[in-house]
Structure 1
Amino acid sequence: MITRLRDYVLVLAVLAVLWQVLAQVLNDPLLPSPAQVMATMWHEAVRGDLIYHLMVTLRRVAIAFLFAMVLGVLWGWCMGRSRRMNRLFDPLLVLFLNLPALVLIILLYVWMGLVESAAVLAVILNKVPNVAVTLREGVRSLDPELEAMARAYRFTLRQRILDLWLPQLFPYLMAAMRSGLALIWKIVLVVELLGRSDGIGFQLHLAFQMFDVSTILAYSFSFILVVQLIEWLLLQPLERRARHWQAAGEVQNA
């Protein structure tokens, strides 16, 4: 963990130095230096605008992420366990997978108006199919011998979930969570840019109108930093704990 963090910091430092040199050589306001971007970020944070809009976007990301994961897992589970359900819903799944996010966002804004529910629903509908596809493949890969053992020993539903299904599906859940987090916050920014009056996307829209590249980068990097912290502090520890849990379960079964 420490080595990975050190390498990550080293790469960022090298990129920051190259960026600083390029900004000094070009001396163009459309390419501010890292110091200018950090100064803008600090100024916006002291004013309170950065924290406010960051929390608004995080709230939308959290709500959309939660609903997309729950609905996507249920959809993928049903399609993976039932061939009939898979045949029935596969065309709908393919349709949503190939429907551009921008088109869906515009349609929901037209149908529902420029309201919060339309914004969040657009993000959810864009992510649910990706989660469903990932979980469907995971459900299809469940070991049939373990399923037979569970039936023979009459596992309860709780035992099936915790001891049988969850350990096998965990890699697919992690893949869905990581890709979901990366995709959802990008779609949230588009949703905010097109039809909301707050959030990081709205601030990027205002900065774009003024050709204020420093503010664009300051708000963008602030949210990227938050997402990276979620990866370090939540997803990676969860993955390590689950691996230990899986290893302990394998030893116990052996």
Structure 2
Amino acid sequence: MPSQTRFLSILTIFILWQTLALLISSDTFPTAVSVFKSLFYHISEGELFYHLGITLSRVAITFFIAMSIGVFFGILMGEYKRIDNSLDTLLVIGLNIPALVTIIICYIWFGLTDFAALLAVVLNKVPTVIVTIREGARTIDLKYMQIAQVYKVSKYDTFTKIYLPQIYPYIMASARTGLSLIWKIVLVVELLGRSSGIGFQLSMFFQFFDIESIMAYSMAFIIVILLIETYILRPLEKKANKWR
């Protein structure tokens, strides 16, 4: 039933898009059919998969780095007040610096390299992960930890089987919001200073006012993100909440 509902919602959006585009009849608002034709053309040419693969690799690298750092410091700041007080100012600064500023500074300091691009994305994402995980660490039910201590459960088992499961919902929430944020920043990073990836291609199409190709490339990436959400993140979320 949920899959049927999602299919119907996607079909409804497709029909509305096609109808609205036909009514407007403008070169700057192509129909859904023409965009999908452009998508299949770029797939047949082969360059779409090449640039899509590069962008996805950047998304994956920055996602895992940002999540690892964010979860680590989020737990520390949630558990230890002194560490929280020491890092809170940096966290607030990190949360409020515009992504564009971070990207430009990284490119100026480290050059137009992949290292600078990935670093800019990580720096933009880590603070949001820390905030979410810190709030999760503050909601830990201490009675479970006390029970583990009474029964002399090892520290490793206490952490992995009692502590972490309680913050799994916060980890999954930061993962889902993080994925949506990271891929947007990656596109901006590629548009500003890389010579490959979806963002770079979008900048090239923009110069030629090729709106069909812009929407086709965007559609390809959206489809991939929806597949990741449906077949990876949602199953992981259900598995993480089984302990309840």
TM range (shorter): over 0.9
Matches within 5 A, 1:36-115: 36-115=34-113
Match of 2:178 among 177, 180, 185: 180
2:123 matched to which residue of 1? 125
1:116-144 Cα shifts (integer Å, max 9, x gaps): 00000100010000100001011111111
* Number of positions where the alignment pairs a residue of Structure 1 with one of Structure 2: 244
Q: CA offset at residue 32 of structure 1?
A: 0.8
Q: CA offset at residue 21 of structure 1?
A: 1.6
Letter matched to residue 187 of structure 1 = I
Letter matched to residue 145 of structure 2 = E
1:24 matched to which residue of 2? 22
> Do 2:168 and 2:241's aligned partners in 1 also have CA atoms closer than 8 Å?
no
Matches within 5 A, 1:240-251: 240-244=238-242, 246-247=243-244
1:222 matched to which residue of 2? 220
Q: CA offset at residue 212 of structure 1?
A: 0.9
**Partners in 1 of 2:240 and 2:174 — Cα distance?**
15
**Does 111-120 or 24-33 show the bigger shift?**
24-33
**Partners in 2 of 1:238 and 1:178 — Cα distance?**
11
Match of 1:34 among 32, 41, 47: 32
**Partners in 2 of 1:232 and 1:21 — Cα distance?**
28
**Partners in 2 of 1:199 and 1:161 — Cα distance?**
39
Q: CA offset at residue 149 of structure 1?
A: 1.7
**Partners in 2 of 1:102 and 1:155 — Cα distance?**
47
**Partners in 2 of 1:203 and 1:60 — Cα distance?**
15
1:116 matched to which residue of 2? 114
**Partners in 2 of 1:6 and 1:16 — Cα distance?**
15
Letter matched to residue 197 of structure 2 = G
User: Cα RMSD between the aligned structures?
Assistant: 1.0
**Partners in 2 of 1:8 and 1:162 — Cα distance?**
35
1:193 matched to which residue of 2? 191
**Partners in 1 of 2:174 and 2:163 — Cα distance?**
16
Q: CA offset at residue 94 of structure 1?
A: 0.3
Q: CA offset at residue 81 of structure 1?
A: 1.0
1:197-221 Cα shifts (integer Å, max 9, x gaps): 0000001101111111101110001
TM-score, normalising length: structure 1: 0.94
Q: CA offset at residue 27 of structure 1?
A: 1.9
Q: CA offset at residue 151 of structure 1?
A: 2.0
User: Which structure 2 residue ranges, 5 or more long, are not aligned?
Assistant: none
Q: CA offset at residue 242 of structure 1?
A: 2.3
**Local SS of the residue matching 1:28:** coil
Letter matched to residue 202 of structure 1 = F
Identity %: 47
